[in-house]
Structure 1
Amino acid sequence: MSSSSKQRWDALKPLLRLEGSGSRDFLHGQTSADLLAAETGSLLRCCWLTATGRVRALLEIRLDERGADVLVLAGDHNAVATGFEQVIFPADQVRLKPSKPIRRLQILAQLKQEQTPEVTWLLPDEPLPKQWAAMQQASADQIESWRLKQGLPLEPGEINGDTNPFELGLTAWVSLSKGCYLGQETLAKLANSGGIKQQLRYWQANRPIAVGQKLINLEPEAGVNNRAGVITSVMQDQASTGSHGLALVRRKSLTEAELCLAEDSTRVRLSIPTGFVTPPMND
């Protein structure tokens, strides 16, 4: 595929800078990535978690000889900065500098989450390299439609401190072999037990739907709790009255091809997002 036929996601993102010889060790203990095994200069994708393994932010990290750059791809960058500041001690040999915007470029392609996308970071006033200038800049609607089909959880409905990486298909963003880090104990238990209660799914419907609407099974059982999921992201179709998006679907309903809205029985078609990596689930 030629560069001219590709599309680029081109956006400004907040970048945190860690300075000091202890940056690698500090980030190893604060994120889900194995920083000790990482090569300097390589792009690492990981999660910033709560102590109970819930995702608060998605991060991209690049290590260098003097420290590390941390790009906040999703989540509140101020919360990440504050969280880091609260646990940095003099013995860590780390200093957190104020955040600044960085221009992030990514080729839009349907990839599994374990496949690292082609990404470049630039200073906001830095000239665009020829490779990227030859690509068409994707519109906001094109990026959002790609994100939904890919199943990339970027919105507050998915990244809000209530979901864990396995529910969001982010198994590849988590190291299960490294030592202790924030949220590690919970994730280790989930990985060993397969006790995932819900998973992210791509949905389509023939009418507009709103974030937060509840899903139930098409044939509910009398006297049984028939909650099947909740809508987390929505995009209205430009060429029709329909809509599509992402939803968190409860474990018991993951094999269903269709669910319906609790309020009016509108049918919602489900499929696994292109990039979603299904975690192991024990019965």
Structure 2
Amino acid sequence: MTNLHQLQVNAGATLGDIADLSVPLTFGNDPVAVAAAQQQVAVCDRCHWGRIEISGADRIRYLQNQSTNDFNSLQPGAGCDTVFVTSTARTLDLVTAYVLEDRVLLLVSPNRRQALLAWLDRYIFPADRVVIQDRTLTMATFSLIGPQSDRLLAALGGDPLLGAAPGTHCCQILANLKVRVAVGSGLALPGYTLCLDTSDAAALWQALTTAGAVPLGEQGWEQLRIQQGRPAPDRELTEEYNPLEAGLWHAVSFSKGCYIGQETIARLQTYKGVKQQLWGIRLQQPVEPGSVIRVGEEKVGKLTSVTATPTGLVGLAYIRTKAGGENLSVDVGDSSGQLVDVPFLSRELPGQN
């Protein structure tokens, strides 16, 4: 990855380590890059995210038993978001899975790779025909983010996969390089996730930026993550919360059979037992994550993330369901705020009101 990092430094990147891997923290252009992701097209280096490959004849059955979404319904070329949870349905990580002909590729959060590798290995039994490999150091991943992603993909010789479902993926040739192109940017913004051998990473990055993609660093990604509402490990995804509280209904199948944590999640859905929910929040003054949220004298929740944007401070917070939802006015530490909906989160099954 040395060539990739040198290209990024030459473009103004400040590198730092996340989960023991080097990543551009900023290119010194955060406002421009965030605006490009929202209005044009940006490219974000996600090589520090974990890539875990599951192969073997029992791989689909194994994953069906280990996480919340329905792998039995997926054909090669399809993908989905899924959540790994404990036996009591507490959240370990939100993962994107891509089903290939002979294996499944999992894109996992940077600070969850080692924990998930250990977790997955723990549930392989002697009779299971399952092989787990860590591909993080041999595979690179970039996200194209923004409404002009289709145009840029086509300009490099690719197929924009117009109208395809999120997670749909295939191998394509972009700028004379073999790249797996998947629908979805990782946020609630249009775009693609691109996976390829690390030996070709620098050449693809150069092609993407030359074609007009604005480089986006980790600081910009974090701002967009919070604005969009994607929950992150150690912030919104912890063993204090379950996937329904975290607004990840789209990543949960309620019709599949038994899996780790299934009974608890089914009870929560059947008996409307979601006692707290994740919301966006607009803040009037700076306040630290972890601050208590109140309505009057009553404690109703906790702030989990906060970021500055050109239009003010925004954050994510868990709020007791009975306290209210969108447009609720709250006190957060010494600040005040108002709850807002954010596009990444889902709060019910499709078709429900």
Do both share a fold (TM > 0.5)?
Answer: yes
Identity of aligned residues (%): 25
Whether the aligned pair in 1 keeps the contact of 2:44 and 2:144 (CA below 8 Å) is yes
Structure-2 separation of matches of 1:16 and 1:244? 33
Shift of 1:142: 2.6
Structure-1 separation of matches of 2:215 and 2:141? 12
Structure-2 separation of matches of 1:109 and 1:270? 25
Structure-2 separation of matches of 1:246 and 1:108? 21
Q: Does 1:267 align with 2:341?
A: no
Q: Does 1:124 align with 2:202?
A: no
Cα RMSD, aligned residues only: 2.7
Supply the AA of the counterpart residue of 1:166. Answer: L
Corresponding position of 2:256? 178
Shift of 1:132: 4.1
**Aligned CA distance change for structure 1 residues 82 and 227 (closer, same or farther; 3 Å):** same
Corresponding position of 2:346? 277
Corresponding position of 2:300? 228
**Aligned CA distance change for structure 1 residues 115 and 38 (closer, same or farther; 3 Å):** closer
Equivalent position SS for 2:72: coil
Corresponding position of 1:39? 75
For 1:62-95, what per-residue CA distance to the aligned partner results, in whole angstroms no more than 9, with x for missing partners? 2233322222136511111111111101211012
Corresponding position of 1:223? none
Compute the TM-score of the two structures, normalised by the length of structure 1. 0.84
For 1:252-275, what per-residue CA distance to the aligned partner results, in whole angstroms no more than 9, with x for missing partners? 2223521002x43x2112201122
For 1:23-49, what per-residue CA distance to the aligned partner results, in whole angstroms no more than 9, with x for missing partners? 111111101121111111322210001
**Aligned CA distance change for structure 1 residues 131 and 55 (closer, same or farther; 3 Å):** farther
Structure-1 separation of matches of 2:219 and 2:324? 28
Whether the aligned pair in 2 keeps the contact of 1:14 and 1:77 (CA below 8 Å) is yes
Q: Does 1:106 align with 2:182?
A: no
Q: How does 1:165-204 map to 2 (within 5 A)?
A: 165-204=243-282
Supply the AA of the counterpart residue of 2:56. Answer: G
Corresponding position of 1:67? 103
Shift of 1:9: 2.8
Corresponding position of 2:318? 248
Shift of 1:56: 0.4
Unaligned 5+ residue runs, structure 2?
A: 1-35, 148-164, 168-183, 185-191
Equivalences, count: 267
Compute the TM-score of the two structures, normalised by the length of structure 2. 0.69
Whether the aligned pair in 2 keeps the contact of 1:20 and 1:94 (CA below 8 Å) is yes
Higher relative contact order (CA 8 A, sep 6+): 1
Structure-1 separation of matches of 2:316 and 2:274? 18
Whether the aligned pair in 1 keeps the contact of 2:247 and 2:277 (CA below 8 Å) is yes
Structure-1 separation of matches of 2:287 and 2:251? 30
> Which structure has the highest helix share of the two?
2
Equivalent position SS for 2:141: strand
Supply the AA of the counterpart residue of 1:125. Answer: S
